[in-house]
Amino acid sequence: MTTYDITIIGAGVVGTAIARALSRRDLSVALVDSADDVGEGTSKANTAILHTGFDAKPGTLESRLVSRGYALLSDYAAQTGIPLERTGAVLVAWTEEELGNLPGLRDRAIENGYDRCELLTAEEVYTAVPSLGPGALGGLAVPDESIICPWTPSIAYATEAVENGAALLLGREVCGIEVGPEETVVRTTAGDVHTRWLINAAGLGADVLDRELGYDRFTVTPRRGELLVFDKLASSMLDKIVLPVPSKLGKGVLVSPTVYGNIMLGPTAQDLDDKTATQTSESGFEFLLSKGERLMPQLFDEEVTTAYAGLRAAVDHGDYLIDADAAQRYVLVGGIRSTGLTSSMAIAEHVEDLLRDAGVALEPRAQVAEPPRMPMIGERFTRPYQREDLIAADPEYGRIVCFCERVTAGEIRDALTSTVPAVDRGGVSRRTRATNGRCQAFYCGAAVDSCIAAAREESR
């Protein structure tokens, strides 16, 4: 029977980042999730922005970790090939009140250690974003806000963790925790996992898990965000993130380019009770239509390519809730909101600090794997179908299966046979973009399903 040094529950972007960091130590690490893939919950459906943290609440842990995470993930993205573009953002004020709030936001950015914001006149706003709808009164430029692929980070972190020997235990729902004097037993639907330390990175389920450890300190409220993704033919309309001025109700609706070459509009913000309610809604669409028509009326000349909804793990607490309990050998990583993608690597660093303070030896592993090279799925980078050298070496990279997104048979094969392989269509699409395009699988869906079925046969 194996007893892991560390077991992390939750293979989202935060859990995989922690697994990656700890796998580089001389420790045995397990990563458990109920889903069949990493990054399958909230992490797959966010707004895909790498935040500078300019508008965070100064002095909070979130402010510090977002700022640090921005730097860490920028570097890691460059090493691994996670699509990332420093597009910059413009906050647009539509009312006198919002306009009046802009200088305060700039000052807050400086308090957060970010001093590159600049106030813009209405004219400068329209120069920066010519397709913006009429009525903007002024703005604030945030030149370092960036767009990022929301899917590749979790997969890259998990890949590196597995290459360093971490056990990836997917498809196991946690049904109970028993803390003993020497070790903790995690009861799952596919057997027990024995561990010395337990890290709770369960996102939407973090509060429930926390109660298993005897706490009652926070409640996760799923806050649904619905988004519309517009056709790539709209991409010439916008090359920056357009943000609303934040209010008490959250960050509001933004319109942004995506690293896949689309334009995205959203999210809505609706508090729910059901932690599985990832469906889109009529009211959400109506709201986005009315917002979008004001923000960028031309957008609706193009087709909607897809729509999705994600559930942010909102908590009744103004900051991240990251806490170590040395007696139970337990770390809670809760209340990680939409900024979690940006801060993921800094959260992992912070968790390491907490473990070290609690007396866990964090010696570097004798040999660590190099950061993995991830498949390039960013539209503004060179993709396999464009690479003469790659196709000459392996003609499968010249065989385009998904026409809209130009995904080749070689990439789909790789996704199905990689270190952390795709097991279904969603997994293939997050690793390659196949079926994500404007035809939504009209042409390629059946071919992709056949590739998945063949890979399943092979692995049997």
Partner 1 sequence: MTTTISADVAIIGGGPAGLTAAADLASRTRARVVVLEREQEAGGIPRHSDHLGYGIRDKRRFTTGPRYARRLVDEALAAGADLRTETMVTSWDGTDMLVTSPEGRARVEATAIVLATGARERPRPARMIPGSRPAGVLTTGELQNTVHLHHRTVGSRAVVVGGELVSWSAVMTLKEAGCRTEALVTSHAAPESYAVFNLGGRVMFRPRLVTGHRVVQVLGRRRVEGVEVEDIATGRREVLPCDTVVFTGDWIPDHELARSAGIALDRGTRGPLVDPLGRTGREGVFAAGNLVHPVDTADVAALGGQHVARSVARFLDGEPMPHVAPLRVVGDAPFAWVTPGLFHPRLPAPARSRLETWVTEFVRVPRVTVRQDGRVLTRRALPWPASPGRVFRVPWNVLDGADPNGGPIHLSL
Name the site residues for partner 1 (rule: CB under 8 A).
229, 233, 276, 278-282, 284-285, 303-308, 385-386, 388, 391-392, 395-396, 398-400, 403, 406, 425, 438-443, 445-447, 449-450, 453
Between 26 and 424, whose beta carbon lies closer to partner 1?
A: 424
Active site residue 194: no
Tokens representing 229 are 């993704």
- Between 21 and 407, name the residue whose CB sits nearer to partner 1: 407
Based on CB atoms, which residue is closest to partner 1, 196 or 387?
387
Q: Is 48 helix (H, G, I), strand (E, B) or coil?
A: coil
The catalytic position among 51, 194, 317, 350 is 51
Whichever of 170 and 186 has its CB closer to partner 1, that residue is 170
218 or 308: CB nearest partner 1 = 308
Where do the H-state alpha helices sit in 338-459? 340-357, 388-393, 409-417, 425-432, 445-459
Q: Strand 254-257 relative to strand 263-266: parallel, antiparallel, unpaired?
A: antiparallel
Bond into 375 cis (ω within 30): no
Minimum CB distance to partner 1, residue 428 (Å): 13
**Spatial distance between the Cα atoms of 92 and 238, rounded to a whole number of angstroms:** 14
Separation CA 108–CA 91 (nearest Å)? 14
| Residue number with CB closer to partner 1 (334 or 437) | 437
In the complex, the smallest distance separating the C-beta of residue 35 from partner 1, rounded to whole angstroms, is: 12
Provide the β-strand partners of residue 330. Answer: 198, 325
How near is the Cβ of 316 to partner 1 at its closest, in Å? 28
Q: Closest distance between partner 1 and the C-beta of residue 403, in Å? A: 6
* Tokens encoding 309: 């909804």
- Which H/E stretch holds residue 333? strand 330-334
Residue 235 Cβ, how far from partner 1 at the closest point, in Å? Answer: 11
**300: DSSP letter:** G
Residue 187 or 387: the one with the smaller Cβ distance to partner 1 is: 387
Euclidean distance between CA atoms 402 and 400, whole angstroms: 6
Q: How many CA atoms lie within 13 A of 182 on its CB side?
A: 3
Shortest distance (Å) from residue 381 CB to partner 1:
15
Residue with tokens 């056709």: 231
Please state, in angstroms and rounded to a whole number, the distance separating the CA atoms of residues 251 and 223: 13
**Among all chains, which residue has been given the structure tokens 């009046």?**
100
Q: Is the Cβ of residue 43 or residue 280 nearer to partner 1 in the bound state?
A: 280
Alpha helices in 298-368 (DSSP H): 340-357
End-to-end CA distance of the chain: 26
Best CA proximity match to 378, nearest among 160, 162, 228, 153: 153
Question: Measured in whole angstroms, how far is the alpha carbon of residue 11 from the centre of its chain?
Answer: 11
CB of 399 to partner 1, least distance (A): 5
Write down the least CB distance from residue 143 to partner 1, Å. 30
CA–CA gap between residue 9 and residue 314 (Å, rounded): 19
What is the Cα–Cα distance from 299 to 238, expressed in whole angstroms? 10
List, by residue number, the catalytic residues.
51
